[in-house]
Amino acid sequence: MNFQTYAELWRIPDVRRILVLGVFLRIPMPASAVIVTLHVVGPLDRSYAEAGLVSTVLAIAMAISNPWLGRLLDRVGLRRTVLLPLTVLPFAWSIAPWVGYVPLLGLVAAAGLFTVPSFSIVRQVMLRSVGPGKRTAALSADSVMTELCFMVGPLIGVLGASYLGTSWALLLIQWLGILAAVVLWLFNPTITEGEPALPADAAPLTTASATRRTRLPSWVNPGVTLLLIGTFSASLILVAEDLGTVAAMREFERTTLLGLVMAIWASGSLIGAIVYGALNRHPSAAVMLVLLGATTVLTAFAWGPISFTALLLLSGFFCAPSLTAALEAITSNVPSTVRGEVMGWHGSAITLGSAVGAPTAGYAIDLTGWQGGFLFGGGLGLLIAGAVWFTTRRMSTPAEASLPSGERSPAAAE
């Protein structure tokens, strides 16, 4: 385990700049989620279900936009891609806080379709700026910063809505993100390091196979597909844990401690990301997904708020590392020239996992109590993760056995 790697990463100017800029690009997302909910149920006098519909519309729009904006990054570069959101977002978010519910839905959908692909950009800059041996640490550092944004963002959103009102708070927080995007456009960091050699298992297509696959992107292969499925399952697990935690604290009659418990869970994920990035040998994505699913199921057997928080902390330890491991394996298995598109699909897998997991986990909770969320999310995630692990084991080639210690084919999730 080598924590010195993080200090070495921080000394790289592009890494340092993009991590700081990434904070300002990302904080508006969790902050706005809270503000929009308060805005819909407050000034607009609508129900929580209608507030949830706004979040669903935004999630669907972002799931659509992630791949095509990522592909645009690969094809036309950062400046021309970011310029597109900068022509739409200032108008959408300047009008949205002051209109009724139905126009708000339309403006949120437009904003979601043209959201700056900050996650893809930050990660591509990180991967371009470091050597292959530090990629996992770089992605872990990005996960740590993301966790901090999602811990601080809701607090900023609540404070802003309380002291400024929801309309002004939404306007100001979104303009913070827009200004950060302008700085990104001016900074214009390089996002690719040139065309790398494809992994051994990604052999060039023959004419016949190319003909059969003309409708599929060149990077599509079983390894990447399995890792995207694994990312979907990890996101499903996390949203089930989120809903299950709310239900559990209500059942324990400790709703006043909900914020603290959620913060402890997030801190577990943050610590897990730091430790995972510092490891000399990193467990595979499939192994991390299995551990995440298993510890989620285990949390359902808590008997009180203290044991519940302890088990949730344990499960949180595998949250960020699971997503990091999957993303590292995916990006290592594709050329840098298509990383933007692939990272877009990775973001869509996370979004779709949340979209599918939220209503189904909610149904499980209504049916069986708070334990149902953890049993459903952890059980289904564990089933998918186990299938990914078993399949990648079967896909492993004998050539991997001859690789030097510590090396493996990035196509394999295990």
Reported as a pLDDT band with limits 50, 70 and 90, residue 401 is very low
How far apart CA 176 and CA 182 sit, in angstroms, is 10
User: Taken in order 166, 167, 168, 172, is the CA torsion positive or negative?
Assistant: positive
Residue 355 domain flag: yes
Do 340 and 385 belong together in one domain? Answer: yes
**Predicted local distance difference test score (pLDDT) of residue 54:** 84
Mean pLDDT of 9-24: 88
Angle between helices 135-164 and 166-187 (to 10 degrees): 150
Q: How many residues does the chain have?
A: 414
Per the CB < 8 A criterion, the answer to whether 15 and 130 are in contact is yes
Share of the chain above pLDDT 90, in %: 19
How far apart CA 318 and CA 316 sit, in angstroms, is 5
Reported as a pLDDT band with limits 50, 70 and 90, residue 218 is low
Amino acid at 5: T
pTM here is 0.71
Domain boundaries, position 38 = 1-191
**Predicted local distance difference test score (pLDDT) of residue 407:** 38
Torsion angles phi and psi, residue 165, rounded to 5: 90, 155
Do 226 and 127 belong together in one domain? Answer: no
Of 171, 191, 211, which closes a domain? 191
Q: What is the pLDDT of residues 220-273, one digit of tens each?
A: 677 778 888 888 888 888 888 888 887 888 888 887 777 788 888 888 888 888
Higher pLDDT among residues 410 and 51, named by residue = 51
Residue 211 domain flag: no
How far apart CA 326 and CA 320 sit, in angstroms, is 10
Query: Residue 291 has which token pair?
Result: 């551990």
Residue 61 domain flag: yes
**Predicted local distance difference test score (pLDDT) of residue 336:** 67
Do 262 and 176 belong together in one domain? Answer: no
Which range in 21-30, 279-288, 361-370 is most confidently predicted, on average pLDDT?
A: 21-30
Q: What is the pLDDT of residues 322-348, one digit of tens each?
A: 888 888 878 777 776 777 777 778 878
Do 174 and 51 belong together in one domain? Answer: yes
Beta strands in 35-93 (DSSP E): none
**Predicted local distance difference test score (pLDDT) of residue 398:** 42
Helices assigned H by DSSP within 279-369 = 285-299, 305-316, 319-332, 339-368
Query: Residue 48 has which token pair?
Result: 């929580």
Q: What is the pLDDT of residues 98-112, one digit of tens each?
A: 999 999 999 999 999
Cα–Cα nearest to 191, from 82, 329, 349: 82
Do 174 and 30 belong together in one domain? Answer: yes
Reduce the secondary structure of 199-224 to three states and give it as a string.
CCCCCCCCHHHHHHCCCCCCCCCHHH
User: Is residue 72 pLDDT above 70, yes or no?
Assistant: yes
CATH code for position 72: 1.20.1250.20
Q: What is the pLDDT of residues 159-216, one digit of tens each?
A: 888 889 989 999 999 999 999 999 999 988 887 664 433 343 333 333 334 344 446 6
**Mean pLDDT taken over the chain:** 80
How far apart CA 52 and CA 42 sit, in angstroms, is 14
Q: What is the CA radius of gyration of the chain?
A: 21
Do 171 and 308 belong together in one domain? Answer: no
Q: Give the number of other CB atoms < 10 A from CB of residue 267.
A: 15
How far apart CA 143 and CA 253 sit, in angstroms, is 32
Do 233 and 174 belong together in one domain? Answer: no
Look at 92-101, 218-227, 393-402 and tell me which has the smallest mean pLDDT. Answer: 393-402
User: Taken in order 277, 281, 285, 287, is the CA torsion positive or negative?
Assistant: negative
Look at 1-15, 40-54, 104-118, 204-218 and tell me which has the smallest mean pLDDT. Answer: 204-218
What is the count of structural domains for the chain?
2
Mean pLDDT of 12-27: 89
Do 224 and 334 belong together in one domain? Answer: yes
Residue 378 domain flag: yes
User: Taken in order 193, 117, 199, 282, is the CA torsion positive or negative?
Assistant: positive
SS3 state of residue 195: coil
Q: Cβ neighbours of residue 5 under 8 Å, at least 6 residues apart?
A: 134, 137, 277, 278
Residue 82 domain flag: yes
**Predicted local distance difference test score (pLDDT) of residue 404:** 40
How far apart CA 178 and CA 25 sit, in angstroms, is 8
Do 161 and 81 belong together in one domain? Answer: yes
Residue 36 domain flag: yes
Share of the chain above pLDDT 70, in %: 85
Do 162 and 226 belong together in one domain? Answer: no
Do 161 and 291 belong together in one domain? Answer: no
SS3 state of residue 252: coil
Residue 410 domain flag: no
Reported as a pLDDT band with limits 50, 70 and 90, residue 395 is low
What own/partner pairs with CB < 8 Å and gap ≥ 24 does 155-164 have? 156/27, 156/31, 157/30, 157/31, 157/32, 157/33, 157/34, 157/35, 157/38, 158/34, 158/38, 160/31, 160/35, 161/34, 161/35, 161/38, 161/39
Distances (CA, A) of 242 to 249, 283, 319, 333: 11, 25, 12, 31
User: Is residue 282 pLDDT above 90, yes or no?
Assistant: no
How far apart CA 254 and CA 271 sit, in angstroms, is 25
Per the CB < 8 A criterion, the answer to whether 21 and 180 are in contact is yes
Q: Give the number of other CB atoms < 10 A from CB of residue 341.
A: 23
Do 186 and 246 belong together in one domain? Answer: no
**Predicted local distance difference test score (pLDDT) of residue 193:** 60
DSSP state, residue 294: H
